[in-house]
Chains A and B, each alone.
Chain A
């Protein structure tokens, strides 16, 4: 795989890790914002290559995780309605609401379908004019353009039976909220490369400046992440609160202008509740007035939803780096990927689930023994 395998080279990874060991002189706490990066770090064991002084704090950038329970319950209620085809990306199907998940709704007769693009949902709406087709549009800036495209297309085609349950969230307000928290320990950020491929990184210099924290745009492959960490440590050691782009093969300063344009047209900024963190002002997108008719929350007045988060769950502290997943008393006991108590255990990209799935609760001192490979 061109442009993938090159960035997974074991020998270069070892060299980069030793370079990081060479330049680091004291402890630093760095947050990788995106869940895809958390997943890659834990899956590949990138953190195991790093010097002790570097602590990676796993950020809130997993859209499945931070989607509020209330919205998931709304999705379940809409998906259960007769005459509705409810479309979602695959990994939302297993996310538990208060009492069930979309798989269970499907088994109970709900028409729940996995799609691979929101445009597939538009096609379904056109092919099923007697049904209401609803797409579950969640995610950060990365997944927003195709969702905006779907809504825009539905409007152009005059579709009356298509709507989107929107819960888009935005990275810069989350960084602001984390840095403003009284329990914050984060000193620098690896910014999410794919978010920046859409939005560019013109939003970040004011944040770096205001919080005196370097921000390095970082990709997802092992070498991308090591390079992001190397540049971050270099800036931290030099005391420079600058923005640097370690993912230049994908990300430009201004980002994808046509995508930004359609986002401005279809969405407007709104306050958003983040599961595990709480409401962050101006931290999400909802459909703008011109497209409100495609808002599933307006179309299906689902009421009587009462949700209660577990009192045991400390996801908020995990998301802010105040607690490691395996330091939580409920981790691996009351709370597992099968029975998640909170946001970070829900999706494979959540910090708690990543720790659980890759066995970071077990001491593996002898497990790295060499295999007898000829």
Chain B
């Protein structure tokens, strides 16, 4: 799909920017649906345009998740808010072992937001949904007054289905389990930092934003002995592993030297005084699996494009429950705590 040369369909060309009326439920709203959302997300459920979408109940159990997206800037190297809005919710569903099926999409758009930017976001969402194999079956748009929003916010909710008997959750890590990381960390967070206002630095870092449901399906195919899956988004690997240690009441030991970090990400972190272990990822997962299944799962991950860099980084232990402990590069140990808030660049 070519986003750059996309041109507005005729009725939308009268409005190069979003106006309040586009969220008002009248003719302008209808035009937006008819000429922008429907063509992008087209599927038989959405086409009914009812107040709610009706779908057949799939067999098994349902997984349900929601997430809101407020990223700044809206377009960044390797992705956009549209990619995040689809992949984020797809990944949340996949982390319970579910197969994601349907999404909702709620847009809160600021008055004056360029129509072509909105269209690009929608096109990217549609492409991401297609890649992830999910359908956007219901949606909503509201427009807020100029100055009351950062251009565009998106909320997505998703429904997935998972087989009876599958038990994956953050409280299920057991001593002796192995911790696998699917690839290099910090790409998304540093890609965003590199284009933040007042901090632009030249780099080739791109966000790793991707839907992980295909990778998870392969892993489950290799073995069902997966106890915990987690996508280390905000707060990075450190926060995810701390949460798992807390919820499972176990300790987690990792070897810092086994955690892959791309050289350009490592350099950017070094420059800003940040620790990549706390930096956000949008296309990586942590898996805590039974030791006997680790090699089989790892091999399947490495055979998938999104898990090519997968590595075993540590293990679950009965010692130091609730805590994440790392062996450092020079052979010392350190506790890796939760952060209070965002990481802040240091003075010196």
Contact A94 B317, beta carbon cutoff 8 Å? no
By a CB distance below 8 angstroms, the chain B residues around A357 are 335, 337
Task: Provide the bound-state CA to CA distance between A14 and B331, in Å.
Answer: 8
Chain-B contact segment, one of A38-46, A181-189, A301-309, A310-318: A38-46
Contact A90 B340, beta carbon cutoff 8 Å? no
Other-chain contact of A367, B266, B319, B340 (Cβ < 8 Å) = B319
By a CB distance below 8 angstroms, the chain A residues around B251 are 367
By a CB distance below 8 angstroms, the chain B residues around A362 are 320, 323, 335
Task: Provide the bound-state CA to CA distance between A367 and B295, in Å.
Answer: 24
Contact digits for A143-154, partner B, Cβ 8 Å, 1 yes 0 no: 100000000000
Whether A114 contacts B344 in the complex (CB less than 8 A), given A366-B319, A367-B320, comes out as yes
By a CB distance below 8 angstroms, the chain A residues around B347 are 63-64, 89, 91-92, 138-139, 143
Task: Provide the bound-state CA to CA distance between A90 and B319, in Å.
Answer: 35
Other-chain contact of B267, A1, A337, A356 (Cβ < 8 Å) = A1
By a CB distance below 8 angstroms, the chain B residues around A113 are 198
Whether A371 contacts B258 in the complex (CB less than 8 A), given A94-B341, A349-B346, comes out as yes
Query: Which A221-253 residues sit within 8 Å CB-CB of chain B?
Result: 222
Contact B329 A8, beta carbon cutoff 8 Å? yes
Is B186 positioned at the interface, with any CB of A under 8 Å from its CB? no
Is A374 positioned at the interface, with any CB of B under 8 Å from its CB? yes
Contact B333 A368, beta carbon cutoff 8 Å? yes
Closest B residue to A358 by beta carbon equals B334
Closest A residue to B274 by beta carbon equals A90
Distance between A338 CB and nearest chain B CB, rounded to angstroms = 6
Is B314 positioned at the interface, with any CB of A under 8 Å from its CB? yes
Other-chain contact of A45, B266, B311, B319, B332 (Cβ < 8 Å) = B332
Task: Provide the bound-state CA to CA distance between A42 and B326, in Å.
Answer: 12
Distance between B181 CB and nearest chain A CB, rounded to angstroms = 11
Task: Provide the bound-state CA to CA distance between A248 and B257, in Å.
Answer: 28
Closest B residue to A4 by beta carbon equals B270
By a CB distance below 8 angstroms, the chain A residues around B7 are none
Contact B344 A94, beta carbon cutoff 8 Å? yes
Task: Provide the bound-state CA to CA distance between A91 and B343, in Å.
Answer: 9
Other-chain contact of A43, B295, B315, B328, B348 (Cβ < 8 Å) = B328
Distance between B302 CB and nearest chain A CB, rounded to angstroms = 11
Query: Which B157-180 residues sit within 8 Å CB-CB of chain A?
Result: 178
Is A334 positioned at the interface, with any CB of B under 8 Å from its CB? no
Is B330 positioned at the interface, with any CB of A under 8 Å from its CB? yes
By a CB distance below 8 angstroms, the chain B residues around A202 are none
Task: Provide the bound-state CA to CA distance between A92 and B335, in Å.
Answer: 24
By a CB distance below 8 angstroms, the chain B residues around A63 are 347-348
Whether A115 contacts B332 in the complex (CB less than 8 A), given A1-B270, A348-B346, A371-B255, comes out as no
By a CB distance below 8 angstroms, the chain A residues around B341 are 94, 103
Distance between B36 CB and nearest chain A CB, rounded to angstroms = 35
Other-chain contact of A372, B178, B198, B334, B340 (Cβ < 8 Å) = B178
Whether A44 contacts B334 in the complex (CB less than 8 A), given A36-B348, A366-B319, comes out as yes
Closest B residue to A369 by beta carbon equals B253
Task: Provide the bound-state CA to CA distance between A331 and B117, in Å.
Answer: 52
Task: Provide the bound-state CA to CA distance between A9 and B328, in Å.
Answer: 11
Distance between B282 CB and nearest chain A CB, rounded to angstroms = 23
Is B245 positioned at the interface, with any CB of A under 8 Å from its CB? no
Whether A143 contacts B348 in the complex (CB less than 8 A), given A1-B270, A4-B270, A359-B323, comes out as yes
Whether A142 contacts B348 in the complex (CB less than 8 A), given A44-B329, A364-B320, comes out as yes
Closest A residue to B272 by beta carbon equals A116
Is B345 positioned at the interface, with any CB of A under 8 Å from its CB? yes
Contact digits for A73-105, partner B, Cβ 8 Å, 1 yes 0 no: 000000000000000011111100000000100
Query: Which B267-319 residues sit within 8 Å CB-CB of chain A?
Result: 267, 270, 291, 294-295, 311-315, 317, 319
Contact B333 A372, beta carbon cutoff 8 Å? no
Whether A116 contacts B345 in the complex (CB less than 8 A), given A13-B330, A222-B330, comes out as yes
Contact digits for A38-69, partner B, Cβ 8 Å, 1 yes 0 no: 00001111111100000000000001100000
Contact B348 A371, beta carbon cutoff 8 Å? no
Contact A1 B266, beta carbon cutoff 8 Å? yes
By a CB distance below 8 angstroms, the chain B residues around A356 are 337
Distance between A111 CB and nearest chain B CB, rounded to angstroms = 14
Contact B331 A13, beta carbon cutoff 8 Å? yes
Closest B residue to A93 by beta carbon equals B344
Task: Provide the bound-state CA to CA distance between A138 and B257, in Å.
Answer: 35
Is B122 positioned at the interface, with any CB of A under 8 Å from its CB? no
Contact B330 A359, beta carbon cutoff 8 Å? no
Is B327 positioned at the interface, with any CB of A under 8 Å from its CB? yes
Whether A139 contacts B333 in the complex (CB less than 8 A), given A116-B199, A359-B323, A373-B255, comes out as no
Distance between A324 CB and nearest chain B CB, rounded to angstroms = 16
Is A194 positioned at the interface, with any CB of B under 8 Å from its CB? yes
Contact B346 A89, beta carbon cutoff 8 Å? yes
Contact A120 B323, beta carbon cutoff 8 Å? no
Query: Which A321-374 residues sit within 8 Å CB-CB of chain B?
Result: 337-338, 348-349, 356-360, 362, 364, 366-369, 371-374
Task: Provide the bound-state CA to CA distance between A94 and B340, in Å.
Answer: 10
Closest A residue to B255 by beta carbon equals A371
Other-chain contact of A139, B334, B335, B348 (Cβ < 8 Å) = B348
Contact B258 A45, beta carbon cutoff 8 Å? no
Contact A45 B312, beta carbon cutoff 8 Å? no
Contact B320 A10, beta carbon cutoff 8 Å? no
Distance between A24 CB and nearest chain B CB, rounded to angstroms = 18
Is B263 positioned at the interface, with any CB of A under 8 Å from its CB? yes
Is B254 positioned at the interface, with any CB of A under 8 Å from its CB? yes
Contact digits for B32-57, partner A, Cβ 8 Å, 1 yes 0 no: 00000000000000000000000000
Contact B329 A194, beta carbon cutoff 8 Å? no
By a CB distance below 8 angstroms, the chain B residues around A349 are 346
Whether A194 contacts B348 in the complex (CB less than 8 A), given A362-B323, A368-B327, comes out as yes
Task: Provide the bound-state CA to CA distance between A120 and B345, in Å.
Answer: 15
Closest B residue to A194 by beta carbon equals B348
Query: Which B221-260 residues sit within 8 Å CB-CB of chain A?
Result: 251, 253-255, 257-258
Task: Provide the bound-state CA to CA distance between A93 and B257, in Å.
Answer: 32
Is B325 positioned at the interface, with any CB of A under 8 Å from its CB? yes
| Residue among A4, A44, A46, A92 with most chain B CB within 10 A | A44
Q: Known pairs A46-B330, A369-B317, A371-B258; list 13 more (Cβ under 8 Å).
A: A13-B331, A43-B328, A44-B334, A45-B333, A48-B333, A114-B345, A143-B348, A358-B337, A364-B325, A367-B325, A367-B333, A369-B253, A372-B312
Selected A-B contacts with CB under 8 Å, 5 pairs: A9-B330, A94-B344, A222-B329, A359-B337, A360-B335
